[in-house]
Chain A
Amino acid sequence: MKPPRAEAQSDADRKVPFRGGGFAPRITRGPAVIAFAVLIALWQAAVSWRIANPLFLPSPIEIGRALYALAASGELWLHIAASLRRIAIGWLLGTAGGLALGVAIGLFGLARSVGVPLVSALFPIPKIALLPLFILWFGIGEPSKVATIALGVFFPTAVAAFGAVDNVPRSLIRMAQSFGLPFADIVRKVVLPGALPGILSGFRISASIALILVVAAEMINAQYGIGALVLFSGNLMRTDQLLAGVVVLSALGLVIAFVLGRLERRLLRWR
C-alpha cells in the first residue's frame, strides 16, 4: 500500500501517458547493412565449416572470385550487354504498345469496350508459355526472345496506364473543358501528366517482368545473356558461376529500380 503522501502527490502530478506514435515504419540503413553482413558471414561460415557442400552452395568468396574472373575475361560484359539489349528493345516495344492501348482504354468508350475484356483474358497467361509459339513464328533467334519480353511488358503497362488515366481527377478535366481547351490539349496538358504517377508505377512492375522473362527466354538457344550464363553454368556444375549470374541479375534489378526511382523523383517533383 502506498503512503498517503505519495498517493496525494501522484494524484496531483500524474503525467498523462503518451499513447500515440508507432505505425509509421521508417527505413534506416544500418540494420539493413548489418543484416546483409550477418547473412553473408553465416553463409561463408557454413561453407568453410563444411556444413554446406560447396559443390551445391559455393561460398560468397567463391562467387566473388567467379564474378571477378568472368568480368576480367570480358565474358560477363557480353552476357550483360546481350540481356540489356533484349530488355531494352522488348521493354520499349511492349511499353509503347501498352501505353497506347491503356491510354486509349482510358479515353475512348470503344477502346474500353473492346480492350478491357481482351486485356483481362490475355493478361493472366504466363508469357513464357508462348515462347515456343514465338519461336515457330519468329524463328529461334532474337525476335522470339524480344517478342516474349514485349508481350510480357505490354499487358501490365496497359493495365497501369488505363488505371492511371481513370484516376486523373475528373474535376481537372472539367476545368480544362470549361476553359475551352481542345481535346488533344486536355490529353497532353491534363490527362497524361495526371496519369504519370500511375504510369511510372507500372514501369517498375513491367521492368521486373522484363528481367524475369529475359532470363527465361535466354535459356532457349542463346549464346550470350545472363539466362544463358546461368543455364550453361548449371549444366557444367559451375555453381559459383551460376550464382555469380544470379548476383548480376539482382544487381541489374537494383540498378533498374534506382534509375526508375530517380526518374520518378525528377518527373514527379510536384507531388
Chain B
Amino acid sequence: MELVVDGVGHAYDGLAVLDGIELAVRDGEVLALIGPSGCGKSTLLGILGGMLQPTRGAVRLKGDPPAGTLNPFTYVFQDFALLPWRTVEGNVSLALEHHVLDAGERGAAVDEVLSLTGLSEFRSALPKQLSGGMRQRVGIARALAARPAVLLLDEPLSALDAQTRDLLLEDFERLWALRRVTAVYVTHNLDEALRLADRIVVLSRRPGRIREIVAVDVSRPQRGVATLAGLRDRLWRLIRDEAASADREIVAHEAA
C-alpha cells in the first residue's frame, strides 16, 4: 500500500502554510518530515491521515491496507492525548472498543501491545501516575493496538527530556524491527530523523514546499554519529537558512 500526496496545498484563513506538495509514502518505509517552525509539517501530517481537509490537492491510497488493519491511519501525538480518567489499559483499549472484536480478542490485543511496549505491570495506572516517557509509550501502545497501515507520529518525543528521548528512540527502533509499519515521522530533531528514517523530506519555510528528499542509505544498526556526519551536515545546511529566515519572518509578523 502506498500513500500518494498529489499537489497538496493548505491555507489557514488565507495564510498559505503548504504549497504544491507531491510525495509518495512507500509501503514499509519510515519517512521523516523536517523543516523550520511553521513550515506546515504537522499540517501535512494532519492531511495525510484525513484529519485536515487540504485547500488544494488530495491524498490518495494506492492498494489496500494490510489484512487485519483496524485503523489505517493512526496517530501518535506530541502531547500524548491520553484520557486522564482511564487507566493505561483503558486508554489502549479505546482504540479497539468500537471494532467488532470479542472481549477475549480485545484483551489479547491489549495484552500484546502492553507487553511489546513494556507496560504490562502498569496496566492499572492512571496517566497522572506515569512519567512523560511512559505516557508516550501508552500512546504508542494505543496506536499499535489499532493495527495501523500507516503510523503518523507528530513530534512524539519533543515533550520529553533528552534521556527519555533516547530510551524511546531505542523502543521505536525495536518496534520497527518487530513490526515493519509504514510511518511518517514529524520532527524538529535532525538526529531523530537520521536515526529512524529511510527517507527524510526537507520542507522549506512557510508556505512549506518540498526542498529536497534525502535517502538515508545506511542500515539502522550501523547508524552512528560518525557514519551520518556528512548527511547531517547536508541536512543542516538545507534547513539552517530556512530556519533563520522563518525566525525573522515570525518576528516581523509579530511586530506588525
Contact = CB atoms under 8 A, between A and B. Distances in A.
Interface string B89-114: 00000110110000000000000000
Given A175-B75, A179-B146, A190 B83 contact: yes
Interface size, A (range) = 10 to 19
Given A171-B77, A178-B49, A178-B73, A185 B83 contact: no
A176 B71 CA distance: 11
Contacts of B127: 270
Contact of B75 (A178, A190, A271): A178
B51 interface: yes
B51 A176 contact: no
B128 A178 contact: no
B117 interface: no
Contacts, number: 49
Contact of B98 (A171, A174, A185, A194): A185
Contacts of B84: 270-271
- A contacts with B: majority SS: helix
B71 A270 contact: no
27 contacts: A171-B77, A172-B81, A172-B83, A174-B51, A175-B75, A175-B77, A175-B81, A176-B94, A178-B73, A178-B74, A178-B75, A179-B74, A179-B146, A180-B71, A181-B94, A181-B97, A181-B98, A182-B98, A185-B97, A185-B98, A189-B97, A190-B83, A194-B85, A270-B85, A270-B127, A271-B84, A271-B128
Contacts of A163: none
A179 B83 contact: no
Contacts of A172: 81, 83
Interface in A166-203: 171-172, 174-182, 185, 189-190, 193-194, 196
- B contacts with A: majority SS: loop
Interface of A: 171-172, 174-182, 185, 189-190, 193-194, 196, 270-271
A114 to B, nearest CB: 26
A193 B73 contact: no
B86 to A, nearest CB: 8
B126 interface: yes
A178 B146 CA distance: 11
Contacts of A176: 94
Nearest to A176: B94
A193 B82 CA distance: 13
Contacts of B75: 175, 178
Contacts of B95: 179
B79 interface: yes
Nearest to B90: A189
A172 B81 CA distance: 5
Contacts of B128: 270-271
B85 to A, nearest CB: 4
Contact of A171 (B79, B85, B142): B79
Contacts of A185: 97-98
Contact of A179 (B71, B79, B86, B126): B71
B181 to A, nearest CB: 16
A190 B73 CA distance: 20
A179 B51 contact: no
Ranked nearest first, the 8 interchain pairs of A and B with the lowest CB-CB distance are A175-B81, A270-B85, A178-B75, A193-B85, A179-B95, A171-B81, A270-B84, A180-B71
A179 B93 CA distance: 11
Contacts of A180: 71, 98
B94 A189 contact: yes
A177 B46 CA distance: 12
A271 B127 CA distance: 10
Contacts of B94: 176, 179, 181, 189
Contacts of B77: 171, 175
